[in-house]
Structure formats: C-alpha cells, structure tokens
Chains A and B, each alone.
Chain A
Amino acid sequence: KAGVTQTPRYLIKTRGQQVTLSCSPISGHRSVSWYQQTPGQGLQFLFEYFSETQRNKGNFPGRFSGRQFSNSRSEMNVSTLELGDSALYLCASSLAEAGELFFGEGSRLTVL
C-alpha cells in the first residue's frame, strides 16, 4: 500500500514569490492535514481538510492556504514568501478523526 506522497521534495524560492505544494494521501484516507516543522517552533498545525472542506485551521497568516480535491489529494499554497517561511512542510493523512496520522516525507522549502 503506497504511503503519503508529497511533491516537490525540495524547492528554493525568493522572497515575494509564491509556492504550491502537493500531497497525495494513502488510498482510502479522506483527511489530509498540513504541518510546518522548523528547528525553533517544532511541528505546527496549518490546516486540515476532509471531503474537500477545511475543518480546522492553525494560527498562521492568510498567506497560507490550501484545498482538497474530490480524489482527496491536497495542495497548499504560500503567497508572498518570507524568509521565515523556510521550513519542512509535512502532509499527513488519516483514516478517521483519531489523530493517528501518517506523514509524508515532506517538502523542504528554502526562501532566499
């Protein structure tokens, strides 16, 4: 059974640009969550989607957005990139609302 797939794995952007990250969940999983991981702040919740609807949103500015498609695949977008957005962005899928998350390998974003 294939795991959670995230693309791209690595990317470099400059300040002011925007970026779109993609996530394909485990087959059958309808919940997709996004997390940001940095050395200083650790893992922080961005948002969660279930059946194309955003159910929860973390404490991030509106520059961070996401969506989920009918096949459960999800994308997140960060606009007007700032240096502080450099991080590992992790997508996780889940079968239910139990908090048992299966993480992808992440997309490492560097903002110059």
Chain B
Amino acid sequence: QKEVEQNSGPLSVPEGAIASLNCTYSDRVSQSFFWYRQYSGKSPELIMSIYSNGDKEDGRFTAQLNKASQYVSLLIRDSQPSDSATYLCARRAGANNLFFGTGTRLTVIP
C-alpha cells in the first residue's frame, strides 16, 4: 500500500467550475499535510498546508482534512486555465521528509 494515494487523472473541468482533488494516506499518526502544484517542466511549489481536521481556506483554494477517514482534499473554486498543472499531495514523515503522492493532473478548459 502506498503511503499517499491520489487519482492520477487527468481531471478536466471547465473554466469557472470547482475542481476537487482527493488524496488518501495510510499512516494514522500523520499530522501535517501539504498540497503542492507543479507546472509542466517546472518544480513543485507549495499551495497549502493543513494540520487540523476541518477546512482551511486561502483565496480560491480550500484544503480539507479528515483524520478519521485518512483523507485530504483540495478544492479550487472558479478554476482558471492557469490552474492547469499537476497537484501533489504530501504528508510529513519527519522534519522536512515528505511522502508525496504521484499527483493528479488537472486541465481547466477555457
């Protein structure tokens, strides 16, 4: 069983719609989770971090964490073509050691 699992996609949504990206993890003691965005040919960049159960909002992005279900999600509201990228879910295993999922490729269609 992989540490962090994501649907590889591709996920296509029309411009202006809500994109929903999901991630499950296997380690029940995990406390810290992250969403990174990676444009094609570029390096990952941090979008959101979440440490507590519930929702965390930052602009058009909302991260949701459910530790009982071992589930993390990222919602992107009012999706824009510039949001087209691969989204990586990660959990912290120790210090700055992160387990990454293989990513979900999102395409926003104008």
Contacts and interface: CB of A to CB of B under 8 A. Distances in A.
B32 A99 contact: yes
Contacts of A103: 43-45
Given A42-B103, A45-B97, A48-B95, A98 B49 contact: yes
| Chain A CB within 10 Å, residue with most, of B46, B98, B100 | B98
Interface of A: 31, 33, 35, 41-45, 48, 50, 55-56, 58, 90, 92, 94, 97-106
Contacts of B32: 98-99
Interface residues of chain B: helix, strand, loop or mixed (majority): strand
Given A33-B96, A90-B43, 13 more contacts: A31-B95, A42-B88, A43-B100, A45-B99, A48-B97, A50-B95, A56-B95, A98-B49, A99-B34, A102-B45, A102-B46, A103-B44, A105-B43
